[in-house]
Chain A
């Protein structure tokens, strides 16, 4: 299966390629592997491009990638990753492959703050009474290390024997799922160095224990694009998470950590969505990596003038020196990689997607209408590969009608659809709030024969369920040929 213009290591189809070893990286022996000694509390920052093999091996000492400890002697393939290997005790790394930039850095005060924060959360967990452990929300601008912080805090908590729940509310980057989705997952087992939190359940063996996420879909790129949908899904999700906490005392005790998109702290909307998240999830600690202005705004909103038990602590962390700008091109590649990984797995856990050809009449596809009049979305639309065609029957629907049943059209080719748990005939609210069974890729639409060919992760059909099609994430034209 050729992938014109795109070669992703470890994400190629296993059926066509030679056995992938070490996520596509050639054996390190062949490359000019170099050794790098890191002092205690320093880090190795790297920006590895997609398609460029880049691997790191821990030779001696201890090191971690966003809290996930590297096993000594294991080669980790980190192509397409922008990160930093941090060491508390000093270590020696063996690095092979080319990176766009790589250097060792000593300015790592952020790590001490992160660790102290972990200590605070542990204290809070120790003190947890009936109300449960700390409920943390991390806010801040884009590329300020929010997800890395969430990952570190989650991993350290797991290491300390907790089962924290990690919640991702950023539609631009999926967690255990493709983009345009929200994830809630209770992490009780080892997380993965290469794949973030690892992998959601598959039928085969896995490198790290599987994580069982609950997935919702939000087919827009930012919360402000469709705040009403965003808030509604958040409300539904908070309900599930709260229920889960009640069912599982250990999870409640460990609390949860919410990762948010950079666009959540939007002063123009008077922090409307942020406020909503904080109240729906009963947040009691807000971490920000942003500006002092944001801190002030948050403090004014959540701490000041509230009673002691009602107040939400707000802490501001230093932005890590290693947090780098991830440009639109990179983010796009990342999303494509996530979509690809959803269907084909990774190098070590390769998956076979299944093709389903279904006639138009059997399908209930709902289009999530884009709010083209919302200004906040415009900055992203400029970069969007806009497959959305306005003549698809947008019409002049009322503001309340967001999901609209459509017949399949060629415009859908290459895009992602969420299979909702609700039946195809459900009402709009149900479709909006329902959890996600899985995602489908529209491989081909044959309008003359009235058939849609889907790529599905699972061999089984999904039955009569509502499919939601949005303009986000952008279509991936060359997932299958």
Chain B
């Protein structure tokens, strides 16, 4: 606890991060000391965890394959020895970070990575904390990918084929450039089966997708490579892999056909040669023609695949001259799409694997599995994970990659604002449904593919929770019904006041203090129940730590603090003692509200992530969000959730009054007008910090004697 906030340190996040990056660059081999050192840096700079995590991810991504393993060991050491918040930040991109490295490294390193992955599913060695290093939500997609990958490899070997490894060991995957073919949203819709994109939405979403390396010839490329003067190696590679897929399909149907077998081997060798870059330009033409010739002998099984090229270049792509939706863009994705989205090796020729995966010969394959676009979709997912998102993307999917902590807070608080258990509270339920519906569903969906995990089709609440997967305890810990019930209520030993009872050791008391609250804060050791409420509390608690650390690290805030005067008797007696670290400001204010009599204009609604403007559903006037210093969040002042939408609190009040007392309307309107701009200011009086902290000048100066008379 003591080591996390270097008070007075002048170095900002960028300095720390660049120091860290430099040390990382010096890491040449698996050097235990260096790795421990880096871990220590990370531990002592948890307030810069986000920056450090990003640096580490980038490093793993960009460094030479030979040095990826030590870098991943650094990641491993940090998450195991420091834990949160690194598990949160690194967990977000874990799939991308890990899979990127995995496909580039050699066989020996792969085994090391396998072992590493295995340990991530388990608790930290030697720790009694039963939670795994990374939550299953982060590891499961990798697991799934690995299983599929291994299945493919195994089946290939069984058939006497060179293992996929052989030609997969390429520095650049063939389809890597065309990776943004399928917007990840399509994947996201998966989590929200009923929420299909409307026609109006769709074009916008297609535009959202950044094209990081759009090479003109790719988009200008006609479907057939023959017409192209210089041979596009990428096209050629794609052709080869497509051809290879068909050949393998054929081979699967007739494994004893010598000709097919020979051709298959030849094509595999050809692909190796092309991938390794050994083939000269002049020879490429020849190769291309050969491939084209062979391709014509083995026509693709479905019309969509007839042109070998365009699978990485879907017609709907922005720059494409003829934007027309392809089957991939059907608003209702097929289940196969989903399963292919989890395919482990995006650049590996997908056709090769499908026959073995699915059993039936390729001709009978359902289209989506064959559509390489689906695979590209995965790559797009992967690649998007590495890219800073565009503003549009941030609007659509802020929850994960580049989300600021504040936005995360928003999501958390939206969830937290309405603990699911508290169904009795009508207002809470109203807030919940309203706030949740105010968040774009895609915003909450993690971009990490989670194809086969049970949470793949969540409700909106669940998806919100999922977006916080890094913070949440692992699935395995989600309380069993018996545990979910407050442990102190049931099964608690009844111990009378007696000397005899003192001496007896009761392990259940220890359990109640430790095991029944498995969800521990790594900052201060505080424990939380493994219930929904416990998780929500922990999220708020971690947020609180984060905010405090952030403030401590801020040189302008960190210095010049002073102790407050103690409160007087009356204030203490009436003080509503709550834990600022687990109570939302909303709840705290709600508690004090009973005593303070707040007007409707003092209410506010936390702005859902990415939403800065809103139209009052009652008066149809625009509402703008404002930043509240005390809440450290964007809020809609004078806002309240009404019928699932954010509306002026004063308008709602007016409506309520209008239904009961018809004459009160004009006055409420005046209040509404006055309250629009005052809301942001007035909120401060009710927040916990001001209540605990600042004392009003008049309060300290004008007190006339002890306020409580002696009895």
Contacts and interface: CB of A to CB of B under 8 A. Distances in A.
Given A23-B2, A62-B514, A463 B503 contact: no
B488 to A, nearest CB: 5
Contact of B43 (A23, A70, A73): A73
A126 B7 contact: no
B703 interface: yes
Interface stretch (A222-230, A323-331, A343-351, A386-394): A343-351
A337 B43 CA distance: 29
Contacts of A461: 701
Contacts of A413: none
A473 B267 CA distance: 90
B129 A350 contact: no
A212 B578 CA distance: 10
B149 interface: no
Nearest to A350: B7
Nearest to A208: B524
Contact of B565 (A74, A192, A209, A438): A438
B673 interface: no
A190 B524 contact: yes
Given A21-B6, A190-B581, A247 B574 contact: yes
Interface stretch (A137-145, A194-202, A256-264): A194-202
A350 B5 CA distance: 12
B204 interface: no
Interface in A344-383: 345, 347-354
A417 interface: no
Given A112-B503, A349-B561, A351-B563, A61 B513 contact: no
Given A76-B2, A207-B548, A457 B565 contact: yes
Given A115-B506, A437-B700, A202 B561 contact: yes
B557 A204 contact: yes
Interface stretch (B61-69, B230-238, B492-500): B492-500
Interface in B467-499: 486, 488-489, 492-499
B128 A61 contact: yes
A343 B563 CA distance: 7
A102 B612 CA distance: 58
Interface residues of B, number: 97
Interface in A287-331: 313, 315-317
B466 interface: no
Nearest to A25: B2
A353 B562 contact: yes
B521 interface: yes
Interface stretch (A42-50, A395-403, A420-428, A446-454): A420-428
Interface stretch (B295-303, B390-398, B634-642, B690-698): B690-698
B510 A73 contact: no
Interface in A433-459: 433-438, 457-459
A89 B7 CA distance: 34
A207 B3 CA distance: 11
B514 A205 contact: no
A441 to B, nearest CB: 12
A182 to B, nearest CB: 12
A20 B706 contact: no
A244 B1 CA distance: 32
A130 interface: no
A188 B502 contact: no
A168 interface: no
Contacts, number: 318
Contacts of B580: 189, 209-210
Given A14-B7, A126-B492, A202 B525 contact: no
Given A160-B512, A209-B581, A460 B697 contact: yes
A433 B706 contact: yes
Contact of A203 (B8, B489, B694): B694
A267 interface: no
Nearest to B558: A204
A122 B525 contact: no
Interface in B508-565: 509-510, 512-514, 517, 520-527, 544, 547-549, 551-552, 557-565
A62 B582 CA distance: 23
Given A205-B548, A348-B5, A463-B702, A73 B83 contact: yes
A14 B7 CA distance: 9
A285 interface: yes
B422 interface: no
Interface in B93-150: 124, 126-129
Contacts of B5: 207, 348
User: Quick one: which of B501, B504, B564, B569 has the most chain A CB within 10 A?
Assistant: B569
A451 to B, nearest CB: 21
B389 interface: no
Contact of A92 (B82, B126, B494): B126
Interface string B199-243: 000000000000000000000000000000000000000000000
A438 B566 contact: yes
A153 to B, nearest CB: 12
A215 to B, nearest CB: 5
Contacts of A184: 572
Pick the most buried of A18, A116, A348: most chain B CB atoms within 10 A of its CB.
Answer: A116
A247 B569 CA distance: 13
B573 A243 contact: yes
A276 interface: no
A240 interface: yes
Interface string A50-87: 00000100011110000011111111110000000000
A159 B8 CA distance: 33
B522 A71 contact: yes
Interface in A157-188: 159-161, 163, 177, 184, 186-188
Output the residue of B7, B494, B517, B521 with the most chain A CB within 10 A. B7
B562 A352 contact: yes
B16 to A, nearest CB: 13
Given A71-B522, A123-B492, A156 B513 contact: yes
Among the interface residues B514, B522, B563, B703, which one has the most CB atoms of the partner chain A within 10 A? B563
Contacts of B4: 74
B165 to A, nearest CB: 38
Nearest to B697: A460
Given A189-B580, A204-B557, A205-B557, A421 B568 contact: yes
Given A190-B579, A433-B710, A352 B561 contact: yes
Contact of B568 (A69, A347, A435): A435
Given A200-B564, A457-B562, A247 B573 contact: yes
Nearest to A207: B1
B704 interface: yes
A192 B525 CA distance: 10
B577 A188 contact: yes
A189 B562 contact: no
A18 B492 CA distance: 50
A430 interface: yes
B569 A460 contact: no
A269 interface: no
Given A61-B128, A189-B581, A349-B561, A22 B706 contact: no
Contact of B126 (A55, A60, A77): A60
A19 B7 contact: yes
Closest 10 CB pairs of A and B: A204-B561, A71-B525, A189-B579, A19-B8, A457-B563, A60-B126, A205-B551, A214-B572, A463-B701, A205-B548
30 contacts: A29-B40, A71-B523, A73-B83, A117-B502, A122-B495, A123-B495, A160-B488, A192-B524, A201-B693, A202-B693, A203-B694, A204-B552, A204-B561, A205-B548, A205-B551, A210-B580, A214-B567, A247-B573, A247-B574, A248-B576, A315-B498, A351-B563, A352-B562, A419-B565, A421-B568, A422-B706, A423-B705, A458-B564, A463-B701, A463-B703
Given A204-B557, A352-B559, A462-B700, 16 more contacts: A19-B6, A29-B40, A61-B126, A61-B127, A73-B81, A119-B495, A190-B526, A203-B694, A204-B551, A205-B557, A207-B1, A207-B548, A209-B579, A350-B559, A430-B705, A457-B563
